[in-house]
Structure 1
Amino acid sequence: MAKMNPYLNFDGTAEDAFNFYRSVFGGEFTGVFRMGGNPGSENLPEAEQNRIMHISLPIDANTTLMASDILPSAGHVLNNGNNVHISLHPESREEADRLFNGLSVGGKVEMPLQDTFWGAYFGNFQDKFGINWMVNYDSNTPQ
């Protein structure tokens, strides 16, 4: 069975929000990755280089709060409704394919499942009911 985590989007305030969440929940970030320094980031405006590409804060043994900042230069607009995603972490590529293909039927695929530069098999979409989903299979991450 896949793990499920909330994934939040921010417009340049992900780091501030997560410092606040950490002050309440405690713990340490398991990852803080910025937009700059990644493939294609040389095309980003300087103001977006320090934005958060991904940040994660374990809340308990079963839940991790995750987030990223949007990129206005890529046409991203933060609206109520697209600021939260459900992030699925399946136990195999096959389960990733099954979940992605099943949940995305009739929806809008933003990024098809593919191998990524960060080492995961990842894709995201909005389902036919307007719910945003991410599927992230990483064979190197303990499930």
Structure 2
Amino acid sequence: MNMAAKLVTYLMCKDARKQAEFYKDALGGKIHAVKTFGEIPGTPEEAREKVMHMVLTVAGENTLFLSDSFMPAEGSRNMSLSLTFDDEAEARKAFDRLSEGGKVQYPFEQQPWGAYYGEVVDPFGVTWQIVK
């Protein structure tokens, strides 16, 4: 079977704008599009500025979609985002920036299998695995 497919991470957020700015600063990136719930007719006033859909690229051409959630948006251990770098210094910089205000699960160090690896839960509850 030959299917054309692309997997994109979609993050449900307490504050998509704040979270996107954090990732943009931590990993380098650009916000490409923001659609609000206010663009849908009949949206209640208190929800009009909430983000319905945001497109963000980080660390090169990696795409993230974000949306404000109307239910509690909390982290989960059943999924991690893994980001692999070609350069150790860039990987370490991304790890350190994602760690700001978050929690280091595993320090970024050389592992017995030869790669550098670290795991951090960012301030928004998203688990990142950083690899070089």
Measured against the shorter chain, the TM-score band is 0.3 to 0.5
Q: Which has the higher contact order (CA 8 A, sep 6+)?
A: 1
- The structure that has the greater radius of gyration is 2
